[in-house]
Each structure stands twice: as structure tokens, then as C-alpha cells.
A and B are shown apart, each in its own frame.
Chain A
């Protein structure tokens, strides 16, 4: 499987994502410069974390106008898998590929901590290697990860099973105390209606090996790989 990893000026998680999908999981991976518009050679696109264009104006607000994003939107609309991590999630929301917005953390501070993410829907191509109720130990690192949307949108997301990951404790209890940024309903990750575009604030690529504290993040990437292999049969 071949991953395309988008690099905007200011992106810093592209090498970590490359290492996770290629170095650890043995897949092909290539960087895509923000000016590129040709994505046909890729089986999946990752929008990694960082501060694209310095996050000036608003996180992800400038990145959405880059040439590559037009191609990513087309790729997603053809049903291609797209994973947005952290700043990538913000770009997906700004681009309209995912609903809602990521606001400043409710405590107003940048927060780098390990989180436990409860899998709420294991039937997506991003979570199929996990099981509902399972928690994934994955770090987050952001100042603007407070997911919000209007009530109708949240109801729709919840009703359709589009809320895929929620901040929980290690045992899977979803509580206000464990919520690290104020996200509504402890939402950490969502998919679009078709289930081929996912955004998540925590960084699965930063949990790719035991030596750096854990490898639960691989569940996300291996789900994508296995779903792709299954779709080829």
C-alpha cells in the first residue's frame, strides 16, 4: 500500500508518520509537496501534524487554499482514504471534508500528554483492527484541539457512528475530568459520512514502537492497511 504524506510549510509530523507507516509497518510512503496536484499514485493520503503556514489566521485556514488540498478533496470524493492528524484534522475541517471546528483548548494552554482513546466504532477503515470499547494509549500535543460543532451536527455524528474516538480513562470511562481540551462529548476523532475521511487530534504516529512508550497508534495505520488489502480482494 502506498501512503502519500502531505508536507505544508510548517508541517513537522511528516517524518514521524513516514517512519510509522514505512519504517515500522513496511508500507510504501512518499512526501507530497503542498504545491503538487497529482495524487493518482497513492492509495491513501495522510495530512500530518505541525503548524502549516504557521497556523496564522486560524489553524489550517491557509493550508486549505494550497493546490494540494484541491487534489485531496477530489481524492476523498472518489472514496480514497484520507487521515488527518492534529493540524491535519484542522485542515480537513477548514476544507469542509469534515464538519465542525477545533477551537482553543478550554484551559487556554498547549497540552502535551498521553491520552487514552476509547474506540467507539470499530467498523471504519481506520479502526477495524480494534474493537469497540478498547482504549488506545496515544499522545496528544496541541493548543487548539477543542472539537465543537452545532447541536444538529453533533446529533448527526453521534447517530451515524461517526464519532470514532473519545478521550477516556485507561479503563474506557468517558468522563468530563479526563477531557483534556474541552471537546464536546470528549470527541477525539471523527469520520465523514462515507467513512473514508478521518480526523483525530492525538498522534498515532507518535505511538508506533514500544521503545518510545507504546505502539497503540499502529492500530489506526494497520486498520487502513488491512482495509485496503481487503478492498483489493
Chain B
């Protein structure tokens, strides 16, 4: 029998992969079996193009309790009997097709990954990318995605404390929706997604299984993507109420003696969840497919196995101890059904109507092929990097007018109109709310706190994927350090174009290399991650966008800094550089160059050693109580960072030096490793000594005070006008 191309296309397997399956099995796969291979060998589940690269990422740390890839999420020890599980995951293609449900179920999926670890979710973050909002379809996507995140997170009672949103036409047909969840594990009550002994029961809990989401993993997430309305049935529909109840019941069930394993049913549904459990347990598995409660009549075993119906979990339960498990789920009005049994052996055996309909070695299913490649730098990139930035014309608008334009830009303006739609207070741990560089959460019963952030500048990664990814790690960590938190672990959400092309292979290789280099310099592991490939539309790959989620630890949560200026007369200090203003090279990949000149070019750079030292000095100064405010210099450069600290603090700033002839580069250049601190005048000497001891340059650039922003004699802007532009910019840009 030769399988048709149409069938292979439907499950996104290549002809070569099909031949490999025959080779491994020594026979033709059955149609159900082929579906299992299609799902587990999909890019989404099998990481075919990224597995080899991801193995090179640093993952060792004294704090590491669960290694990346070993379970549903990595786990980091925080001391005081507390540990944190966290992970970021993408739901890009579903959100492109059906933004509300796509984003909502993305949030639902990452939450299940976290409570599958026995962790109570304590924070959500999201990292979003869209085309420019001047397009009606893009505005529809933006509103849908934000609505979906808001609806799911608010209903379930997990605070949404941070994230980012960035607009560039590279994402126009293929928005990025990455959601991150952080969960707290108390008293070592960690769960594993595996069975303990042969004979353990496999119990499915939560929602009934329907025909929704079939081929979500293989179809939507794992091949070249064009906007296809007919793929809508591959998008699942979320029910946050059910997830909330399921979460409570699952966390409670871990206290029962019979519950030995807990696993999320996500992409590729029962197929991926159950078979991965068997692999982890090094056991065989007998699946009784007719036991699965269904939403619809007449579903085939194939459909049941591949359904991605949401809000389902799998439990491994010691036989004889399942009674209390059923009682508990009944208390929460949830279905719990035995759908299989772990057994000695190495096959997953699927039974339908009492008959075995397929039997396949687990390891053959889970060991997806690996594609190795080395990237070759494309010529077009060298050209972009070598662009002569000094020929950039000065804008005809004045420095003050340009500053106002930058403050109102969609990529810079305040995100308050977005995050006010998310509950960021529930659970009463939020010490620093969204709107600063990182959110800070206290941990009840401990003096300690955590800070969390996400970061990635796709434009910079496009211009140099290695350096860009180093910068993404540096910024994600800098966001933590400016609050006083020490970075302890990272998670990565890789969002790339078609990995079958030379350009994307180059971007992937370089990006992972940069991530390794940066994480090693900071001495922190990457504990979990997600890879989303084939992000392209109309044949054009998106900017490489390796989103970095960062986790930081504060030994004393009371000792944290926030972004807004505090007190008239405080000195404004620029840490990490010996000049107030940036040079022309800072324009590489900058927001200014894109917004004002419509150009993405230049060669971004970073001195990673300086970055690490600068962040350490920042944390040391906050710990010592010297710092009134701390804010990262990033998109929009020093001028924007100063303006933001002033607007957030409600107090002006006077910078001594004027930005000079190339005022545009000076004000809006985005050179790395710079932090704006405000410090009581009496403490400047101590800060200088601290910086000098670590060989970190700093410049005292001016003072906090007044009701305007003054940059020497070049810029004078009423703070109220700056605030008006910054606060209304997003709403103006995204309104019809």
C-alpha cells in the first residue's frame, strides 16, 4: 500500500519520514498508527528542527530541581521550602486563525503545564507581536487576542502581571502569542508526569473529548502557514471555568496516596500525553479508547486519539486506590474515567470495542527524527549590517517634537490600556504591578520575592540573530536587575520562520548559540521552552523572535526598586556608560530608525561582560538602599527611559548636557548595558565607589525635579504633554 500525498500533507509528514516509519516498524503503519506518528513527529511535539540545537543550551544550576524537557516544566529551588515551575509557550497559528479562542487556549495550555507539576500558578505573562495597527484586520487580531487572554486569565484567578507587545509588519499575517506561567511548589510537593508501577491506572479527568483541534499540532503548528479559514476547526475552544475547577481538583488530588502522576493533555491530545507518560515511565501502555467520554457520536479511535479538546488531564493512579480519586473529582463535578493501564512491555496498545486496533513501540513514536544543519550567513544580512548609519538624515522635526512622536509610538506608548483589562492583583502577592520593567511578587510566609519579565527585540535579532538573542537575554535579565532581583533562570519561546530554509536555519543556529553564550555569562540555566516554527505569511519569514522569559529572586522583597522618579533633587545617574548620550552606532535596529526613517539596518552589538557587571552593580546599589528608582534603557534609548521614569513618577527631569548635533542618535540610540537610576544626592559618592570597584562606568547626567523634561538647551517639554502622548499613544494607534 502506498499512502497518498494528501494523507501525508494532512498530518505534515514528509515522504522520507514515512519511509523512515516503515523502516523502523518493518512494515506499513496502520492508519491510526500513522496518525500517532504524524502527531508525535510533528515539529510542535517532536522538535525535529530544534532538538539538536536545544541540547546545547546551558541547563545546569544548583537551584535546578527538574531539568528542562524531563517534565512539563523546569523547576527552580528558591529556598525556604519553595520552588518555582515556569515555562513559556506559543499559540501563534491558532491565534492567527481565531484570535480570541487561540489566545485563550494558549493561556489555558500553559497553565495546565504548570499545575501538572503540582505547582499552584501564581502569575501569567504574555509576549505578543502583531503587524502595524493601522490595518483593520490587525486591529481585529489585537482586540481578539487581548480579549481572549483577559477572558481566560481573569476567570481563572491567576494574576496577569507582565509581558510585552510589539508591532512590526513582519508579523502582519502571523501574529505571535506567547504565554508564560509561573507556579509555586510548596514543601516539595512536586508532581511527575509518569506512572510508578506496571498496573497503574491511567485516568482521564475533565472535559469530554470532541472533534475540536484535530491536527492542531501537526497541521496548524508544524507547517508552512498561510491564513486558512478552513483550518478553523483545528482551533480549540476554551472554557476557563472548567479549567479553574480542574486545576483545584488536580492540585487537591496530589494529596491522595493513590495519585502518582499528573500530565497535561495539550497539543496532540491523549496521543502525546499518554504516550509521553509511558516513555517517561519506561513502560508499555494499554489504552481503552472506547472508555473516553465523548462530546459527539460516531468518533473514530483516530479522532479520539488526536482530539485537542481543552481542559483535560491524565492521572496515573495506583490500582485499588482509585476510589478516593473518583470521589474527589465528583466533589468538583468533574468526570474521571479509567482509560488505560500501564504495563510491562514497550508498546502502546490501543483497544477499541474490545479488540486491539494498533500496537506500536513507544520509543519509535517518541523518538522523532532530528534534522541537523549549520547555517550560512545570507548575503542580504551582511549588506544590512554594513549600512552606513551616519548617512541617516536628521528629521525635519525638532528634538522636542520627535520626542513626543516617539513617546506616542505604538511600540513605546504606555501599555496600561491593555493590562488594565487583566486582573493583576488576585492572589494578593503583586508588589510591583505591570508597567515597570519586571513585575515583583511576594511569596507569602517568606521574606523572599520573585521578579518576572519577558523580552525580545525581533528587529535586533533579524539584524544579528546571535547578538540579538544575547541582547534578548541581557534585557530580560536587566528588567529583573533594575528591580533588585537576581536572575536565577530563563525559559525560551522560540518563534521562527520556515526551518526548511537556509535563512531560518542560520537564524536558529545563531540564535541558540547566542542564548547559550548569554545564559552562561549570567550563570543561569534555561529550564524550559517551546519552539514554534513555520511563522510566515505570504512566503516571508517573520523576524527571528526568541522570546526570553526571566525569573529573578529577591532575598528581601521589601528591598526592591521601581521605575518612577521619586524625589525632587535626586541625582539622575546613567549606569554602564561614561557618556550621557548615545553615538550613531546606537541607531542599529532602533525604534527611531524604523519609526522615523522606515529602516531596519545596522549592526547591533553588546559587551556581555560589561552587561553582567552593570546589572550586578545595579542590584548591589538597590540592596544597599541607595536607589530611589531604576529603569532599563531599551526601546527608544535614554530620552525615552528618562521620560518614562519622569511620567511614572509624576516629576520632571533636568539633564545637564544637550544631545548635540546628532541629537537623534544621542537621544534615541539603543546601545546596550545602560540603566537609569535616581539616587539621593548624598549617596552619589557611594554609588560611584561601588561602580568603580566593579569596573563599571557611570555618568551623573542631571537631576530629578520640576514639571518638564529638559535636555540642556535642546529639549524642553512639559511633563503633562509628554504624559499625554505616552498615555494615549496606544489607544490612538489602535482605535478604528
What is A's interface to B at a CB cutoff of 8 Å?
9-10, 12-13, 15-16, 19-20, 23, 49-51, 53-56, 109-113, 139, 141, 143, 203, 205-206, 208-209, 211-213
Contact = CB atoms under 8 A, between A and B. Distances in A.
B424 interface: yes
A110 B154 contact: yes
A23 B445 CA distance: 10
Interface of A is mostly: mixed
Interface string B420-442: 11111111111101000000001
A13 B426 contact: yes
20 contacts: A9-B241, A9-B333, A10-B155, A13-B426, A15-B427, A16-B428, A19-B428, A19-B444, A51-B244, A54-B241, A54-B242, A55-B241, A110-B151, A110-B154, A110-B422, A111-B420, A112-B424, A112-B425, A141-B423, A141-B425
A49 B428 CA distance: 13
A5 B357 CA distance: 51
Given A50-B157, A212-B442, A206 B425 contact: yes
Contacts of A15: 427
A55 B422 CA distance: 17
A109 B731 CA distance: 14
B431 A212 contact: yes
B557 A51 contact: no
Contacts of B244: 9-10, 12, 51
Interface in B148-176: 150-151, 154-157
A8 B428 CA distance: 20
B690 interface: no
A222 to B, nearest CB: 17
B421 A205 contact: no
4 closest Cβ pairs, A-B complex = A12-B157, A54-B241, A141-B423, A206-B425
Contact of B428 (A10, A110, A143, A208): A208
Contacts of B281: none
Contacts of A50: 157
B429 A212 contact: yes
Contact of A203 (B240, B425, B557): B425
B558 interface: yes
Contact of B157 (A13, A54, A109, A110): A13
Given A54-B240, A141-B154, A211-B442, A112 B430 contact: no
B431 A9 contact: no
B430 A213 contact: yes
Nearest to B429: A212
B607 to A, nearest CB: 37
B239 interface: yes
Contacts of A51: 154-155, 240-241, 244
Given A9-B245, A54-B239, A143-B154, A213 B433 contact: yes
Contacts of A206: 425-426, 428
Contact of A109 (B155, B156, B240, B421): B421
B148 to A, nearest CB: 12
Contacts of A54: 155, 239-242
Most chain A CB neighbours (cut-off 10 Å) among B242, B244, B558: B244
A113 B419 CA distance: 9
A12 B155 CA distance: 8
B420 A112 contact: yes
Contact of A111 (B333, B421, B426): B421
B734 to A, nearest CB: 13
A216 B433 CA distance: 18
Nearest to A19: B428
Contact of A112 (B156, B240, B421): B421
Contacts of B154: 51, 110, 112, 141, 143
A13 B155 CA distance: 11
B661 to A, nearest CB: 44
Contacts of B157: 12-13, 50
Nearest to A24: B428
A87 B242 CA distance: 17
A87 to B, nearest CB: 10
A212 B428 contact: yes
A111 B425 CA distance: 12
A84 B442 CA distance: 27
